[in-house]
Structure 1
Amino acid sequence: MQNTLFPNEKSSQIINTDGDVTYYPSFFSQEESDQIMSDLIKNIEWKQEPIWMFGKKIMQPRLTALYGDPNVAYGYSGIIMKVYPWNEILQTIKAKVETLSNTDFTHVLLNYYRNGQDSMGWHRDNEKNLGENPTIASVSFGISREFQLRKYETKKDKKSILLTHGSLLMMQGETQHFWEHQIPKSNKIINPRINLTFRKVLG
């Protein structure tokens, strides 16, 4: 499959039932991705935030940051995050993602996985202020990490994708109703990965 807006960009349809998930393994070139990764490590206001899980407050197993439009708040799992203004590198990534997705994004949530012990548990991006059928554009830089999807109600039909350096994963339509996703831990990974999930937050 090829995208008509980016004719050299091959894509793979991962889910087309009860959702719409498409993967672009080389959305950014190797050279672009190397430079972006370096810029993000140095220039993002990374923090390790506490999160509530099963009635207990624990520190998230990764670093995070939120950038976007300043007049709209966003949070999840009891966290209301500080919104930093868009910087030049994020605006550059955002513009390319918006061109492909035909969506105007208001925020980007960044996750910095320092090694394979940093992870993200099973969840859906279904906060009310993302709307009924949100478009989530997930861009990855750094070491390749396994991204897993499974049906939310049955916990079956598991799918696994290796998110590579410079890749884009688009989750659209009813995906957040019927599917949940995670980044599992891995003892084999010692290098970092940064993921950016662009989203449109409703005021």
Structure 2
Amino acid sequence: MGTLDIIDIIISHGPSGVSRLRLIPGLLPSEEADWTFSKLLAELPWSQKTNLRVTGEAYEEPRLTCWWLPCWYGEVPYTYARSTMDTNAQWHLLLVTLHSAVEKASDHRFNSLLCNLQNSKHSIVWHSDDEATLVTQPIIASFSLGDKRAFSLRKQPPPV
């Protein structure tokens, strides 16, 4: 891997500090990224998770997730939408490789990984990665393989 062009963008300044986006295009060469995507697509246990709304009504998440073991790869259990994923130390070898590449390129340590599979029918709604089981000021890495997609960010409104 040669020198990477890193793009740093400050999104906002707030009471908890500076929110920034660091974009690292070309972390994997195109052919390697395509091969990695097809291997993970074939070898990870993708499924569509069902959650309960506050009203008690069941709904399917609008994406495929590697939810059940070995899907949440982390040091601590992870809870969102009233569901908890236990830790799993059995990382797929390609996920270990991607995790290491992201840590090296970003100069940050990441303690977990969740895999989502999206296409034109799948999405992730606006959310905050601020679950109590994680840290108070998390650094989130998003690694995208496959087709190009929109990755939108927005500043959180101040608490009322």
Please, what TM-score do these two structures have when normalized by structure 1?
Answer: 0.66
CA distance in 2, matches of 1:126, 1:57: 24
RMSD: 2.1
Task: Please give the secondary structure, in 1, of the residue aligned with 2:98.
Answer: helix
Letter in 2 for 1:12: I
Task: List gaps (5 residues or longer) in structure 1.
Answer: 1-5, 155-176, 178-203
Q: Deviations over 1:75-115 (max 9, x none)?
A: 211121254421111101111111123333232111001x2
Shift of 1:148: 1.1
1:79 match: 83
Aligned-residue offset at 1:144: 0.8
Q: Residue in 2 aligned with 1:97?
A: 102
- Give aligned-pair identity as a percent: 30
Question: Unmatched 5+ residue regions in structure 2?
Answer: 14-18
Greater relative contact order (CA < 8 Å, ≥ 6 in sequence): 1
C-alpha distance 7-17 of structure 1, shift in aligned 2 (>3 A): farther
Q: Where in structure 2 are the equivalents of 1:117-136 lying within 5 Å?
A: 117-136=121-140
Counterpart CA distance in 2 for 1:10 and 1:41 is 28
Residues 96-152 of structure 1 deviation map (CA, whole Å, 9 limit, x = unaligned): 111123333232111001x21211111010001211111111100011111111121
Q: Which residue of 1 aligns with 2:144?
A: 140
Question: Residues of 1 paired with 2:8 and 2:78: CA distance?
Answer: 29
1:143-182 map, 5 Å: 143-153=147-157
Q: Which runs of 4+ in 1 moved over 4 A?
A: none
Give the distance between the partners of 1:16 and 1:61, measured in 2 at CA. Answer: 27
**Contact persistence 2:79–2:133 (CA under 8 A):** no
Counterpart residue identity of residue 33, structure 1: A
Letter in 1 for 2:94: I
Provide Cα deviations, 1:133-173, integer angstroms capped at 9, x if missing partner: 1111110001111111112117xxxxxxxxxxxxxxxxxxx
- How many residues align? The count is 148
Structure with the bigger percentage of strand: 1
The separation in 2 between residues aligned to 1:88 and 1:103, in whole angstroms, is 20
Q: Are the aligned partners of 1:63 and 1:112 in contact in 2 as well (CA < 8 Å)?
A: yes
Deviation at 1:67, TM superposition (A): 3.5
Q: How does 1:48-87 map to 2 (within 5 A)?
A: 48-53=48-53, 55=55, 56-65=57-66, 66-69=71-74, 72-84=76-88, 85-87=90-92
> Are 2:46 and 1:15 equivalent residues in the alignment?
no
- CA shift, 1:54, in A, is 5.1
